[in-house]
A and B are shown apart, each in its own frame.
Chain A
Amino acid sequence: MLRHLFFHLFFLLLGFYSQWAYATLPIQHWQADSGARVYFIESRDLPILDVSVDFSAGSSTDTPDKSGRAAMVLHLVNLGAGGLTEDQITKGFADVGAQVGAHFDQDRAGITLRTLSSARERSRALELFGKVIQHPEFPGYVLEREKARVIAGLKEADTKPGNIADRALMKMLYGTHPYGLRGSGEVESVSKLGRQDLVDFHRFRYTAGDAVVSIMGDVSRDEAAAIAESLTRDLSRERRGQSTPEVTPPAPGTQQIAHPATQSHIQLAYPGLRRDDPDYFPLIVGNHILGGGGFTSRLMEEIRQKRGLAYSVHSSFTPLKEEGPFEIALQTQKEQSEEALSITRKVLADFIAGGPTEKELIEAKKNIIGSFPLRIDSNKKILGYLAMIGFYDLPLTYLNDYVKAVSKVTLSQVTQAFQKRINPSGMVTVMVGLPDTSGK
């Protein structure tokens, strides 16, 4: 049982919530002989083993002329590796019921495996998984085929208002910073990718020195150590790390893009949070009140509940190594897009000027803290946290500290953090799909 793993601890949260028991996870951490950092939780509840192997190989390691390379490498690792064809690999995994997945963002590329923990299934799945991570071959015919598929997908995406808005917004927000590159790349850059680009990238970026191996489930510590070793021992030991440039504030402005859809997609953005940000908790808690907390958030109340202007409206921080985006997004029928945008701007400006109320703050903290057990109620979710903690080198007590840190956030911290970090008149804004009157 997961809870057999937990040691419970009690603490007081400003007096308003004292009866909860919170648990922390017994993460075991070591460095493998290969150089990889290993994060492991033993859990015998279910006959399942989950593994994630993560590298500093996200889209921010691309350059404009090689945009899409990092994603293509990740996409191709299991389409031919270790002397096996793509068919042999997929059949091999399917024959033991194993599932291979991936995680990809600006900072990180991760490959995940979920397998039954029984000896036969586990060993076959891990053997294949080891080949995929360490010995991908990037066959030329596979690359050509997959490039064509990716390009078709990019062309299709470039007709969809949400995708058009995303892409324009990130360009405005980040300019030439690598966080502005689209993960899947651009038609032109993808079409130029060659096999050697992928081989070189894999050799340079998929190193044991940078690898984080996260293991969750039905194996012993000794078995976990052997697994981590077997998945990384053939990789280079180099520790390259990644130096992502600092993010600078964008040139504010609004971009309007015509589109035949019935709705306008409206998105606003500003540089937001780093993973190790001193303002992390005030901004996270504040955003919950502004537009991250679902039906109880201010944006939801003003845009949807009071006026029926949109089905979905929310704000979010995406913490990254450097400042990830702070975004607000909504969709509304074109005729009312100006109204919806001006209300959105007003909600944001009011929130930043005045901060939340004491009652809002208390309720937000109650929700974030009270819902904490839901974040770690499955092996899959816990694996995700292990990978994140490992990749960003966060303390092993991160999950436990999280609850404490949220409970300590004060009203003035939220207000000051937002005033310091988010400039409401400096936002970049994109509107895709314009009302007839402004389609000039």
Chain B
Amino acid sequence: MTYPCFRFLPACRFLPASLWAAFIIPISLFSPAALASAHEFILGNGLKLIVKEDHRSPVVISQIWYKAGSIDEVNGRTGVAHVLEHMMFKGTKKVPGGEFSRLIAAAGGRENAFTGQDYTAYFQQLHKSRLPLAMELESDRMRNLVLTEEEFSKEIKVVMEERRLRTDDQARSLVHETLMATSYQSHPYRHPVIGWMNDLQNMTVEDARQWYERWYAPNNAVLVVVGDVVPRQVFDLARKYYGQIKKAKSMLPLDQRKPQIEPQQLGIKRLTVKAPAQLPYVAMAYHAPSLRKPEKDWEPYALEMLAGVLDGNESARLNKVLVREQRVASTAGASYDSTARGPAAFYLDGTPSEGKTVVDVEAALRAEIEKLVREGVTEEELARVKAQVVAGHVFQLDSMFFQAMQIGQLESIGLSYRDVDVILRKLQAVTPEQVRDVAKKYLKDDNLTIAVLDPQPLEQKAPAAVPAGLRH
């Protein structure tokens, strides 16, 4: 339940759904076929380049991933990773002001950026002949960003508006934010990617500068290029544009950063969020392991399958039982994402149907878990989830953007794009017993935090309609 923050979304009305679809990519969609032709290069300064050919269309996507996300932030400076992402569009000496965006636009390109818990990434999509321009601009701002007080003071206001829009005024976002802040008591995943409002209010351009200087260097970045390109030529371009940048000597590789292991939870945690809304809502988070050693681990794969058995399709257990049969909930869901630099969590959530309460929904969710632990899952259910996995792999090949996202997400958390073969094989090998075992081991009360939305009335005053024309 991480919400990567975008610098810009042209259609905010559709933001929650599109974000969910685009960025909470279940690992079960990774495709070996998609990555069969990927090529890896390392520049002398430590920049890793991964190129994947897709010649269906004369276009290319170039993404640069920095291994710096909200997980790397410290107290009092939450949100700085994302604020810096916004500031990265404010210009360099060579390309001042909004020139970056203008040049990409004039080249027929699209661009954007996003910040997550584990990474910050920037991308351009354009005609393949314009890849050099994207590389020239992106490499320039890796080291030459000009950060001014004036620009910062405006952009921090934009970020605060973004926080208001996406969190403060969204009841369920507040629930998720508080759930994370409660489930984790020490790990930095307790802080929202967008940052706490008070930290944003007190952030300075110096905070942004320090962040930039610390993390923005070739030896903390992975460049992913997917499209109608020749790998060797992309490598030559990367050398030309990125090759001159000096590596940062003091850069901490991922395995040398503080582990910040979350202490063992010692009992169930419960919390309530009051916010303007109509429907109550309950969300449950169980601590769970994330994928560390793709070849050796088995639990994360079993947890992926568990999520699929519970919520992989409309006839999966939660929707079938809670929504269709018992009608205790109008929505019910389960999710788990094994790919994270830090710990993972297994989520359940639900909205009570008319006349039912969050207590009813919680009880129904728990009953499904208990049943699963007691009776296990069927081969048929598991086969269905696996069929969806296989098809999902193939479908993903239709999008260059997703292909690049897969590579970048894996690389930026310390895994390799090559692990996808292993991941698929291990997902296919999960047994019903393993699904039952992980449910039993992780979906237990001592691991659990439960958040409830207590909807508050709007106390809406009568609309003050103004006569036609008066306000113009």
A residues touching B (Cβ–Cβ < 8 Å)? 1-3, 19-21, 23, 45-48, 86-87, 90-91, 93-99, 114-116, 121, 145, 148-149, 151-153, 155-156, 158-159, 161-162, 166, 251-263, 292-296, 301, 304-312, 314, 316, 329, 331-333, 345, 363, 366-367, 369-374, 376-380, 425, 429, 434, 438-440
Contacts and interface: CB of A to CB of B under 8 A. Distances in A.
A148 B324 CA distance: 12
A108 B167 CA distance: 33
B17 interface: no
B276 A253 contact: no
Nearest to B172: A156
Contacts of B105: 293-296, 363, 366-367
Nearest to B161: A311
A99 B57 CA distance: 24
Interface string B452-468: 00011011110111111
Given A149-B331, A256-B463, A256-B466, 10 more contacts: A121-B391, A148-B354, A253-B469, A296-B98, A301-B98, A331-B12, A333-B160, A345-B472, A363-B105, A371-B108
A251 B110 CA distance: 38
Contacts of A90: 313-315
B278 A158 contact: yes
Nearest to B456: A260
A48 B110 contact: no
Contact of B127 (A91, A256, A258, A370): A370
A378 B398 contact: yes
Given A253-B469, A305-B154, A366-B106, A373 B58 contact: yes
A366 B228 CA distance: 21
A153 B158 CA distance: 30
Contacts of A45: 56
23 contacts: A1-B56, A3-B56, A23-B58, A48-B394, A86-B324, A94-B384, A94-B388, A98-B391, A145-B323, A152-B279, A162-B13, A251-B468, A262-B168, A308-B158, A311-B158, A311-B161, A312-B12, A314-B10, A331-B161, A370-B130, A379-B398, A380-B398, A429-B471
Contact of B161 (A161, A309, A345): A309
Nearest to B312: A94
Tell me which of B9, B89, B106, B155 has the highest count of chain A C-beta atoms within 10 A of its own C-beta.
B106
Given A152-B354, A308-B157, A3 B106 contact: no
Contact of A294 (B8, B153, B471): B8
Contact of B459 (A254, A260, A307, A378): A260
Given A91-B315, A94-B388, A255-B463, A308 B471 contact: no
Contacts of B160: 333
Closest 4 CB pairs of A and B: A370-B108, A97-B391, A308-B157, A253-B468
A370 B107 contact: yes
B101 A294 contact: yes
Contacts of A99: 391, 395
A97 B101 contact: no
Tell me which of A2, A47, A311, A425 has the highest count of chain B C-beta atoms within 10 A of its own C-beta.
A311
Nearest to B389: A97
A47 B101 contact: no
Interface in B421-472: 455-456, 458-461, 463-472
B303 to A, nearest CB: 20
B390 A97 contact: yes
Contacts of A440: 464
Interface string B140-176: 0000000000000111111111101100110000000
Nearest to B130: A370
Contacts of B371: none
Nearest to B106: A366
Contacts of B57: 2-3, 373, 376-378
Nearest to B162: A311
A131 to B, nearest CB: 16
A213 to B, nearest CB: 20
B377 interface: no
Interface in B307-321: 312-315, 320
B279 A259 contact: no
A333 B201 CA distance: 14
Contact of A87 (B315, B468, B471): B315
Contact of A255 (B55, B279, B465, B472): B465
Contacts of B155: 308
Contacts of A114: 395
A94 B127 contact: no
A3 B313 contact: no
A277 to B, nearest CB: 22
Given A331-B161, A373-B127, A91 B56 contact: no
Tell me which of A294, A309, A425 has the highest count of chain B C-beta atoms within 10 A of its own C-beta.
A294
A87 B320 contact: yes
Given A116-B394, A380-B398, A254 B10 contact: no
Tell me which of A115, A316, A378, A434 has the highest count of chain B C-beta atoms within 10 A of its own C-beta.
A378
Contacts of B331: 149
Interface in B382-422: 383-384, 387-392, 394-395, 397-400
B39 interface: no
